A and B are shown apart, each in its own frame.
Chain A
Amino acid sequence: MVNAKVLLTTTFIASTVFAQGSAPAPLAPPSAGAPADVSVKQRPTLTPEEMVNQSRDYAKSMNEVLKRIQVLQDQAKRDKDIIRLNCVTDKVVQVRVNISIAEQSIASLQEAVTRNDEGERVHEFTRLTIVNQKVQVLGAEAENCIGEDLSFVGATKVDVEIDPNIPQYDPTQPPAPGIDIERPGEASPLTG
């Protein structure tokens, strides 16, 4: 039990440190008369191996998003919810396109690492990061696709009020069969 707590704590701290990346070099105090460097540092500080590993994580994450959206698509098909299905299908198409772009970027990234081309490597990693973010957004949008539950007003319902004075039977039908039988008249002494 104690070991597990130690492991969790260590993992948490390590993750935090990793997420922060390497500590930037401390800025030199501005000297009088020297211009201040106000440019934004956009270059990643990941090593080539870390970039490749991160790109794999991105690819895995994007495929999970695609699987999740496909589940939503099947669910919409089963529910015959055409409105939601259209919305989710649109997200699926966009996610597939982005995954295709990501796959190209991963391949280019690996080639750049092999060639030790830092500019190409950073470019492809940056593109991959942006594509991954787009896929994550599309996944969130797919989850929020609204179906008939909220927008469909339901099947047409007609309420008919019939005046209670109107007879329930159908008065247009021919009279029911039935021949009146009456006491015969007095015909002759025989009938007495």
Chain B
Amino acid sequence: MNRLRLSLSIAIAVTGFARAALAQEVTIGYQGLPYKATGESNTGIQVSEGVLLHVGAGAEAGYDTNVFYAESGTETASPLIRTSVFGDLSNATRTGSVGKVQFDLRAGLTYRRYQSDDVNVQRFSNAWMPTAGVALSTGGGQFGFGLADTFARLEDPPYAETGPVPITRYNNQASIEGRWAPGGGRLTATLRYTNMIDIFSEESGYNYANADSNYLMLDTAWKWLPKTAVFLTAQQGYIFYLNDALATANGKASSFPLVVSTGLRGLLTEKTSGTLALGYTNGFYSGGFSTSGFWGSTYADVSFTLRPTMLSRVVAGYRHDFTNAVIASFSYNETVYASYVQQIAGRLALDISGRYSHRNYQGQFVDMAQADRSDDFIQAGATLDYFIRNWIYFGVGYSILNNSSNVVAVDYLKQQMFVRLGLTY
């Protein structure tokens, strides 16, 4: 399951920019339309022996309190609808078991429309956001192999309602990995290469940040218990900008981010799992500045997952790291997050999650007036879906994004409320 996690990138597109994956098996923020019934596996069209097709369509109708992510008092609100269709082809069976070779092909299309009389909103009312993904995994014994690729086109209104074009982003993430597990699996080694190409539309104003990110990761783990391991991970990255002149003009510089961490991950008790990681990190920016200091060179990741019952899950975590930034060279991030998922009788699904992130931007800024910018970002989402049958559901959802900064004119509070209805089989 972990190997074939295609849903992340695709769901991001479905829900705008309002989700993030933090812990190993949790996504934070508004959850997109479900593609499978809660607690049900007896769906899917058996296309041929060993090939199962899931299809679905859904619609959300709701209200957006702040279309342009504007400051308080200047918001523009609008009703909106969002519809999506998807198809998923895999060799999983209805009971979930698969052969030694696992594949998953997924494609979807989301259409979002703001229903407003406001002229400025109407200019950005329609957005088409396709997604696609493919994943292949084989092995599972001493040797394993996997590859995956996801593509998403994202479109969101600009910050200024007079802006010329929406923020349109094309994102493709591909990875290939080999796994080696000698000694009956007590020792495991994973070598993975990940590539991400991130391209903004030319008129969006962000195309200076079009980037090609490459990461080579070697993870070694020793399972001292069947599902608990001590690990050592080293990841070396290389990020460079596709439009060199434009990037240089906006203070963007290539970098070689390094993260070396060690710790523990896996089950702590029968119902509790966790990740404890501590390590060294450095951005190695080529522009003469980089992450620095003891805390700035420290990577920390702590997360706990508790499953009180078979139908519920609680996740809480904290992370300290740095990430490459669009509006500056990078930002130090302090993030805490939590998630609660509850299923009731296989029919009702509740998902509540949120995170708080303190972002301290560093390095060269695109707008030097924002030097020393520091943001407090809050993101939360809640959905409640009821499956009338295992192929039809309706529900409600709520999303909130709040940014508070020491820089003027970039604070915003955005809330979205939805009712939703969908079919999935």
Contacts and interface: CB of A to CB of B under 8 A. Distances in A.
Contacts of B410: 185-186
B148 A177 contact: yes
Nearest to B156: A183
Contact of B198 (A165, A166, A167, A181): A181
A186 B173 contact: no
A171 B266 contact: yes
Interface in A151-184: 163-184
A187 B370 contact: yes
A185 B17 CA distance: 12
A172 B231 contact: yes
Given A164-B310, A172-B229, A177-B192, A191 B5 contact: no
Contacts of B154: 181
B366 interface: yes
A186 B194 contact: no
Contacts, number: 133
B5 A174 contact: no
Interface residues of B, number: 69
Contacts of B366: 187-188, 190
B265 A171 contact: yes
A192 B158 contact: yes
Contacts of B326: 184-185, 187
A190 B213 CA distance: 24
Interface in B158-206: 158-160, 162-163, 167, 169, 171, 173, 175, 177, 188, 190, 192, 194, 196, 198, 204-206
Contact of A191 (B169, B206, B365): B206
Nearest to B412: A186
Given A174-B219, A186-B409, A181 B188 contact: no
B383 interface: no
B229 A179 contact: no
Interface stretch (B8-16, B98-106, B124-132, B338-346): B8-16
Q: Closest 8 CB pairs between A and B?
A: A192-B160, A183-B17, A172-B229, A188-B367, A184-B326, A187-B327, A177-B175, A190-B205
